[in-house]
Structure 1
Amino acid sequence: MLSTTSSLALAIAIYLPIQHVLRHRRERQTARKYGHKSRKDLARMTMDEAGEIMRELIELEMTDAFNISLGYGFLQTLAFPESSALLVHTKQIHNPLQSSKRLFDTSVLMTEIVSFTPSSPRFRQAVSRINYLHSRYGDRITNSQLIYVLGVFACNPQIWAERWEWRSMNELEVAALGTFWMGVGRMMRIDMREIKGCGKDDPRYLGRVWSSSSTTSEPENEINNHDQDQDQDEPKDDNNNNPPSWADGLDWMIDMRAYMDLHESEYLGRSEDTDALVEETFRMMLDPLPRWIRGWVRKVAAVGFEERFRRASGVPTPPRSIERFVTYSRLFTKYFRLYLGLPRPAFLTHRAIPSHPDPITKRYSPGAYEAYPYYVKPTFWKRYNPVALLRWVSGGDRPGDKPEKYQPEGYKIEELGPPRWMGKGLEWMEADVMRGMQVVPDGGTCPFGFGD
């Protein structure tokens, strides 16, 4: 009969090889499914395939990297004086209702985009809603700003996976991000000639712009004033008649990461508007927490910022003890998952929004919420679970509270955005969906068939 020590050693010897196979099985299955044997295979990837690969990463493989990158990415885009001045000018931070709703609606729209394949109606409707909201500001939003924000959503998950996930993304997965978001950029009419060649011959993604002589020239129209509520008759035509081409999504990602570095070195800076926006955003994120823990959580959050973003956004450098705590905690999590933890099973798929609307209201209701219960259906569990009760005791709101603010009946994609544009732009969006189908005809189409 085996001793306790021998039994334990035998169990470990059996478990570790099984764990290793299971932990990496999904990655190998994905490579076989999409026929990835060499770099040339990446050029044949379609947008739907890219979306499926990315969704598996979000829901099963690297949930933390995508969730963290979304939160930090939102703060990251505020650290530019020109962008923050626009938000301050449009009163996006002075009204608590507008500021919190803007944050949540942005998150919902991006979640709609990444949760469904590009050939699905919900994906195309979400992209068109973003296009409509951007059109309300006319040329106040520059092409370079749109490129950078697109890069944040495309590149940040890879960056955070490199830093904190149990493994980095492989070539196929990075190419999927590039293929997917490049297609989204084209549907958003973003002129991407500025980024072509930024990462040329530089493996660190720090190239120089050698093909950025052209910029987007928007035609004058009646909606350039952001206070004007009238709908535009139809979406503007795509002015990029000769879009650049890349070998594959990986090639695009290299150029995009280099462009982001160049953009940050030129435009990143501190201003009163930037400080106000970052402070208001932190307030919104921390308000639902007990007062006694808010300061500590804010210091923990500051660890995730690079030093240049701390300086630009006025975020103090956290104490060394906090940095060590966060670093060691993430390292422990990383190596535990890599060498001991089993992969997330399919029945625990992390899905932030439902696949189907409520059969009665025809609206969508998120399954969970972080700070504010926007659009969350007030079921018994969602109102009285321990986390909801803790938020309530701390002065926060639960699902069902303040229905005129949080709209517990759910949301429709065409209603997302500032209250004054709620439900507006339906005809505009329908025309934009048709235009998007011409730019990216089918999610099953490889986007690298377009361009010169």
Structure 2
Amino acid sequence: MAEFIEKLSSNLSTSAFSKLASSSTKQLSGLSWLWSFYLLPAAIAYPFLCSALRFRRLKALQAKYKYGTPERPSFEGMTVTEAHAIISSMSDFEFPALFEKGLQFALFRTYGIPTIAKLLVKTTQLAAEKNVPKRYADTGVLLGDMYASDPASDKAFIATARLNYLHGHYIKQGKISNDDMLYTLTLFTNQPVEWINRYEWRQLTDLELCAMGVFHKYMGESMHISFDPLPSFNVGWKDGLHFYHEMDAWAKDYEKRVMVPDKNNYDTAVQTRALLLGSQPDFLKPFLSKMVSAPLDDRLREAIMFDPAPASYTTWFNRFMTVRRYYLRYLALPRPWFMKNDLHTKEPDKAGRRYVVRWDTQPVYVKPTIWNRWGPGALISSALGMALPGDEGTYPEGFVVTEAGPLAFKGKGNKEVAEGVQQLKKELTAGCPFQFRRN
């Protein structure tokens, strides 16, 4: 009897194993078939799909505006409105991260010019630790409305008029030269381009470079900057592309002449570096402090008296940016329209104030909502010792554009700004800024 039971058990075990093995074989066979006919082709096709979709916006812009095409080979006639639409595509959807970093780096690069740094140190706006976060935020407030708003809108005119009012005091005293103003404008023109061309998933086209030239020519005129130092000032420029290249060449030559080491340069740059690292955990700051020097060219780095980044840091940074470039080109789908990240609220609240909604340094002008103070990100920031919206010195009441700037100018300049807006409306047009040429 025991022998019969043992034999039966053996047969049952063999039968169960056979069924299990057969079932597993069928599953593996099914998975293999699924991989071969569906997953593998999809995995191969996905990078090509991403790459194709990545270029749809550019092709749509080229089809819409047709500048630089066989049917319209010239870039002449591009309007400020068209240029703004092209730049908005670049900054909001195509290259949002590095377009913004390019603008931030433009501000950082001005610290290499002693005449600019000297004024910043004297006014203590970017050389005193307590003033840097607000001054940095105010710059973002003004530039945010100048770049994000329709160029002929009241919002853009008010931001420009406020900036002109703040600059006007120093220009009248001879503390800001036209060359320094033109150089700074040029950095806001070419630094986003250089960062994108160096690190992004594709190079910018002549259509996009022309848009940068057109828009910043308009911006320069609105800020009453003279373009006399540029070679074609007396005869005029053919188009925005011509203007862009002349500005870029002039600024690089200007740097060769005046970007030299100076203690004032260091004082302004080191405070901004501290601001940029202030939102990072303490244990990362020594590493990131050295990493800041990695993307700097030697002329700028020496002018602001920063130590060179260790070779391994520069190598790591370049490799990271290379991986990012290929990831965006072949594995990341393009940013959809509903993922546009606004820097500020568009409309004021009942108190007439607006707020910063996205920040990467101190949370200045950020509304201390429950989410901003107690959400997951806020709890992590608090645990790491970082400032939260509503903390002392963060101005949680929000901002009004006509009050942006140093505290010494708070409550001042409303009349001048109102007059400036009316003057800009009379003097400027959103048409082509290169229609008149002195032939």
TM-score (norm 2): 0.87
Shift of 1:262: 0.7
Per-residue CA deviations over 1:50-73 (Å, capped at 9, x if unaligned) read 111111111100112212112222
Shift of 1:196: 2.8
Q: Compared with structure 1, are the counterparts of its residues 115 and 32 closer, same or farther at alpha carbon in structure 2 (3 Å cutoff)? A: same
Secondary structure of the 2:139 match is helix
1:437 equivalent to 2:425? Answer yes
Structure 1: unaligned runs, 5 residues or longer: 198-210, 212-242
1:320 maps to a residue whose letter is A
In the alignment, which residue of structure 2 is the partner of 1:25? Answer: 56
Between stretches 118-127 and 99-108, larger displacement belongs to 99-108
Per-residue CA deviations over 1:164-221 (Å, capped at 9, x if unaligned) read 0101111111111110011010111111021234xxxxxxxxxxxxx7xxxxxxxxxx
1:285 maps to a residue whose letter is L
Aligned length: 403
Secondary structure of the 2:229 match is helix
1:370 equivalent to 2:360? Answer yes
1:416 equivalent to 2:404? Answer yes
Shift of 1:411: 0.9
Shift of 1:49: 1.3
In the alignment, which residue of structure 2 is the partner of 1:288? Answer: 279
Match of 2:266 among 262, 275, 288: 275
Asked if 1 retains the 8 angstrom alpha-carbon contact of 2:126 and 2:135, the reply is: no
Asked if 2 retains the 8 angstrom alpha-carbon contact of 1:288 and 1:394, the reply is: no
Task: Tell me the C-alpha RMSD between the 2 structures.
Answer: 1.8
Q: Using the alignment, how far apart are the partners of 2:241 and 2:68 within structure 1?
A: 15
Question: Which is greater in Rg?
Answer: 2
Alignment of 1:181-260 (within 5 A): 181-197=216-232, 245-260=236-251
1:292 maps to a residue whose letter is F
1:159 maps to a residue whose letter is E
Asked if 1 retains the 8 angstrom alpha-carbon contact of 2:127 and 2:268, the reply is: no
Asked if 2 retains the 8 angstrom alpha-carbon contact of 1:391 and 1:398, the reply is: yes
Structure 2: unaligned runs, 5 residues or longer: 1-29
Q: Using the alignment, how far apart are the partners of 2:287 and 2:412 within structure 1?
A: 42
Secondary structure of the 1:293 match is helix
Alignment of 1:378-393 (within 5 A): 378-393=368-383
Per-residue CA deviations over 1:63-110 (Å, capped at 9, x if unaligned) read 122121122222110111111111112222454332221111112211
**Aligned-pair identity (%):** 29
Per-residue CA deviations over 1:136-160 (Å, capped at 9, x if unaligned) read 1122100000000000111111111
Shift of 1:370: 1.5
1:145 equivalent to 2:180? Answer yes
Q: Using the alignment, how far apart are the partners of 2:371 and 2:225 within structure 1?
A: 43
Asked if 2 retains the 8 angstrom alpha-carbon contact of 1:54 and 1:176, the reply is: yes
Q: Using the alignment, how far apart are the partners of 2:316 and 2:47 within structure 1?
A: 28
Q: Compared with structure 1, are the counterparts of its residues 41 and 384 closer, same or farther at alpha carbon in structure 2 (3 Å cutoff)? A: farther
1:448 equivalent to 2:434? Answer yes
Shift of 1:37: 4.3
Per-residue CA deviations over 1:254-308 (Å, capped at 9, x if unaligned) read 0011011111000001111111111111122222322211011122221111111
Match of 1:107 among 133, 140, 145: 140
Q: Using the alignment, how far apart are the partners of 2:206 and 2:236 within structure 1?
A: 19
Q: Using the alignment, how far apart are the partners of 1:91 and 1:4 within structure 2?
A: 64
Alignment of 1:388-399 (within 5 A): 388-399=378-389
Between stretches 14-23 and 262-271, larger displacement belongs to 14-23
